[in-house]
Amino acid sequence: MLTELVPGAPNDFDFEIGDWVVKHRRLKERLKGSNEWEEFDGESSTRKILGGFGNLEDNLLHFPTSSFRAIALRSYNTETKKWSIWWLDGRFPDSLDTPVVGEFSNGVGLFYADETFEGKPIKIRFKWNLLGSNQPHWEQAFSADGGTTWETNWTMDFLPKA
């Protein structure tokens, strides 16, 4: 594996490089006013790619009914100073999700995309929060009203793998 980093490569996602146990919490129904959450475990391993201008997160998710693999692919655009994040679900190997695009500011990373959910247009937000902890916290939220209100529907807490 190529490990040489290119000078000037961003360090925004350095906090996530390594191997993790992941505590997932996900709403059972999205954009339906649900308050019922399901919790499950997972594993994650993240490595730098593209000389440090990207990273690849390999995931094993243990949903209550089955387990599956997925990856997050991240790349940094030196012109816009923004990251793009794609999600590839191993259950649907022919389809990359629309990338969320954004950046970090003061320990919080916000990334957005326009998408459809159950045939309706929505906005998606990924939020990485590094404040007050050395353990990364991630949230996914959907907005059905153009970003005026957000429903957080999935959270992940990353714990170092022993």
Decide if 46 contacts 79 (C-beta within 8 A). Answer: no
Decide if 66 is inside a domain.
yes
Domain harbouring 98, CATH code: 2.40.128.20
Number of domains in the chain: 1
- Sequence-separated contacts (24+) of 33-42 with Cβ below 8 Å: 38/63, 38/64, 40/64, 42/156
* Inside any domain, residue 6: no
- Domain extent at residue 125: 19-28+37-160
Residue 7 lies in a domain: no
Residue 24 lies in a domain: yes
Q: Is residue 73 in a domain?
A: yes
pLDDT tens string for the chain (162 positions)? 556 778 889 999 999 999 999 999 999 999 999 999 999 999 999 999 999 999 999 999 999 999 999 999 999 999 999 999 999 999 999 999 999 999 999 889 999 999 999 999 999 999 999 866 678 899 999 999 999 999 999 999 999 988
Q: Which two tokens stand for residue 48?
A: 């730098």
User: How far apart, in whole angstroms, are the C-alpha atoms of residue 151 and residue 64?
Assistant: 22
Question: What's the pTM?
Answer: 0.93
**Is 13 inside a domain boundary?**
no
- Whether 3 is covered by a domain: the verdict is no
Q: Count of CB atoms within 10 A of residue 162's CB?
A: 5
